[in-house]
Structure 1
Amino acid sequence: MARKTGTDKADSIFGTSLSDWLAGLRGDDLIRGYAGNDDIYGGDGNDTVYGGLGRDDIEGGRGNDRLFGGDGNDDLEGNDGHDRLSGEAGNDELEGGRGFDWLSGGSGNDDLEGDRGNDTLLGGAGRDTLEGGAGNDILTGGAGVDFFEFERGDGRDRITDFQNGVDRIELDDFSRAQVSQIINGARQQGSDVVIVLDANTSITLEDMQRGQLDLSDFTF
């Protein structure tokens, strides 16, 4: 196992075939974990981090970071800044944090959470769960059965590829009667369907007809 720490400058830090602990500190760093189950922290600066093989835990820290999980079931957290997170292969967990983030699950059954900011979430292939969080987010499930999670206060979000009868919208803290009322209040807006949860929270389903929407599209 290697333990490596960067400096205040732009560093290049490389792991080993073992499970390593790598930290960039300040500066715009390049960090590669390679094989093993690595713990990697980018620190301050606009960092680029590659987890590589194994089950990696990667946190970007401050700055606009680019995080790549690689193979394995990885945990990626952008933290502060406008970050780009790519889970790639495996069943990954991605969290954007603050800022306007871009999250891509890749292959596998992934869990994507935008958190704060206006985020873009792409599930990719597999059975994915997407939660935009606060802000006006764009969600694309991709191939497979996908779950889109919402709660009050999440902002005005869009789902680009909701598949009626395949995907599900998960509403936290809503009863069956409330969900039925929400469905009844949904409206057609051009080629899209708009679902209103409250005065500050809505879901737009692109390229869908109001008549296709029913209770079977929801879990609660």
Structure 2
Amino acid sequence: MATLQLDLAGDFSVGHLDQLLATTLTAPSETAMIHQDGGATTTFSGSFNNEGHYPDWTGTVSAVLHARDGVRALWMEGLNVAYPSVLTGFDYARFFIDALEYQDTIYGSAGADWLNGFADNDRIWGGAGHDTIEGGAGNDTIDGESGNDLFLADAAVSGDWIEGDDGIDTLSYAGITGAVTLNLGLTGAQNVEGGRVAGVENLIGGTAGDRLSGSAVANRIEGGLGHDLLSGLAGADELVGNAGDDRLDGGAGNDVLLGSAGRDWAVYGSGANVAVVLSAVAAQQTGEGVDRLSSIENLATGAGNDGLTGSAVANVLVAGAGSDVLVGAGGDDTLSGEAGLDRLFGNEGADWLAGGTGNDVLAGGAGADRFVFLPGDGADRVADFEDGLDRLVFDAPGPGPAAFQVIDQGPDAVVVCLGLRVLLSGVDHALISAADLAFV
């Protein structure tokens, strides 16, 4: 069997290809030797206070050794063996193992290690310290052990078993192109990308549209490049959408929702009475916790009696069942009350307002507004219809415009169309014509 031996004048133990062990390097200047089958010997010496970079050795063993005692760091690159090997971390602040090509067993040190198994089926233990671990291709078994560890899912990952163990651990799918679905709230390990995950608190998504959910503890969940659905569940969570049009649902607890790039949604679906102002900079009591929202353009709520207010950009505000109040701001907003007795105020901008089922009050404010009515909607009142500027938009089931009727009701006008009645407050019925209606 070929043997790789490291022999130092100081405190450094002997290693072999099937087990490479080392202890603390105690002297600032050492001499190391690499022994290889066939009698070839390579010797290098000098101070380890500065980084040394040594060339590859050819044959069965090929390695590059870097050493820096001044910052107590040592790592290897390019170690290439022809059969399974075991690597045990040095007792340093940091230990790096990289470019292992076969079935390896790697033990990290008590420091902050960077461990990479690369190809084949590896077994990696992080040890103590805040480690960065990447299994690489193959079906790997990875245990972060203690410390706040970062696990990197490789683009070629298939069947990795990842256990976060102690500490606050993060699993990153940034290198994954397929959509990932992972719920940290489930009990025990769960199948993800052909492998299993357990004991992880934080998540980072990949390039597709991921569905990532937290747990009852505090989680940090980041989306990737796709249109992601991020859910914090219970706990004081931090959700970051990054690129894409993302939906962020903090759940119960005092959460931070950061949309970043794209047109992002904050979702409040518990059914509680929710109050959210998108223009607010400070944390606000939302009804599901004291949340801080940033770079969020759109809101969606559930069955409570909600109050939603937009910001200076174009917003989409959607309230579920309940008697809701939706208020746009400076942009061209879309407001949808859905079920319940709702009040919608577009304010500035060219807004679209849809009350939904129930008898709703709609006020577009300044700008050329569109008031939208669908089959099954209630008897709505438009409080500020401007003839020649605003439009009544009906969802007509057939081709072309449907028949409509305008009724004089004192100071108001009533438009009857497709079985719907829309009251226009303070509008002379004689002013309403087909030009004021649109059909889609």
Q: TM-score normalised by the shorter chain: which range applies?
A: 0.7 to 0.9
C-alpha separation between the residues in 1 aligned to 2:269 and 2:276? 11
Q: Does 1:204 align with 2:423?
A: yes
Choose the corresponding residue for 2:402, options 170, 175, 178: 178
Query: 1:42/1:194 Cα in 2 relative to 1: closer, same or farther (>3 Å)?
Result: farther
Q: How does 1:1-220 map to 2 (within 5 A)?
A: 25=233, 39-43=247-251, 55-62=263-270, 63-70=272-279, 74-173=297-396, 178-179=402-403, 182-183=404-405, 186-197=406-417, 201-220=420-439
C-alpha separation between the residues in 2 aligned to 1:167 and 1:60? 31
Gaps of 5+ in 2: 1-171, 173-201, 204-212, 280-293
Query: 1:35/1:176 Cα in 2 relative to 1: closer, same or farther (>3 Å)?
Result: closer
Between 1 and 2, higher relative CO (CA 8 Å, sep ≥ 6) is seen in 1
Q: Which amino acid aligns with 1:131?
A: A
**% identity of equivalent residues:** 34
Query: 1:36/1:140 Cα in 2 relative to 1: closer, same or farther (>3 Å)?
Result: farther
Query: 1:177/1:35 Cα in 2 relative to 1: closer, same or farther (>3 Å)?
Result: closer
Instruction: Tell which structure's C-alpha radius of gyration is larger.
Output: 2
Task: Give per-residue Cα distances to partners, 1:146-198, cap 9 Å, x unaligned.
Answer: 0011122101100000000000011111665633xx23xx2122211112235
C-alpha separation between the residues in 2 aligned to 1:94 and 1:49? 19
Query: 1:126/1:14 Cα in 2 relative to 1: closer, same or farther (>3 Å)?
Result: farther
| Secondary structure class of the residue paired with 1:211 | helix
Q: Which amino acid aligns with 2:377?
A: D
Question: Greater helix share, 1 or 2?
Answer: 1
C-alpha separation between the residues in 2 aligned to 1:49 and 1:101? 24
| Secondary structure class of the residue paired with 1:216 | helix
| Secondary structure class of the residue paired with 2:402 | helix
C-alpha separation between the residues in 2 aligned to 1:112 and 1:167? 15
C-alpha separation between the residues in 1 aligned to 2:361 and 2:327? 12
User: Do the aligned partners of 2:232 and 2:238 also contact (CA within 8 Å) in 1?
Assistant: no
C-alpha separation between the residues in 2 aligned to 1:150 and 1:211? 22
Q: Which amino acid aligns with 2:249?
A: Y
- Structure 2 length normalisation: TM-score? 0.41
C-alpha separation between the residues in 1 aligned to 2:433 and 2:234? 51
C-alpha separation between the residues in 1 aligned to 2:424 and 2:334? 20
Q: Which amino acid aligns with 1:178?
A: A
Measured after TM superposition, the shift of residue 35 of structure 1 is 11
Query: 1:41/1:178 Cα in 2 relative to 1: closer, same or farther (>3 Å)?
Result: same
Gaps of 5+ in 1: none
Q: Which amino acid aligns with 2:422?
A: I
C-alpha separation between the residues in 2 aligned to 1:148 and 1:160? 11
User: Do the aligned partners of 2:265 and 2:296 also contact (CA within 8 Å) in 1?
Assistant: no
* CA-atom RMSD in angstroms: 3.6
Task: Give per-residue Cα distances to partners, 1:5-36, cap 9 Å, x unaligned.
Answer: 6859xx9x999xxx9x9756469x9x998997
Query: Which runs of at least 4 in structure 1 moved beyond 6 Å after TM superposition?
Result: 1-4, 31-38, 47-54
User: Do the aligned partners of 2:249 and 2:266 also contact (CA within 8 Å) in 1?
Assistant: yes
Task: Give per-residue Cα distances to partners, 1:44-86, cap 9 Å, x unaligned.
Answer: 69x9988798643111112111122238671210122111111
C-alpha separation between the residues in 1 aligned to 2:233 and 2:353? 30
C-alpha separation between the residues in 2 aligned to 1:24 and 1:120? 30
User: Do the aligned partners of 2:258 and 2:296 also contact (CA within 8 Å) in 1?
Assistant: no
Corresponding pairs, count = 208
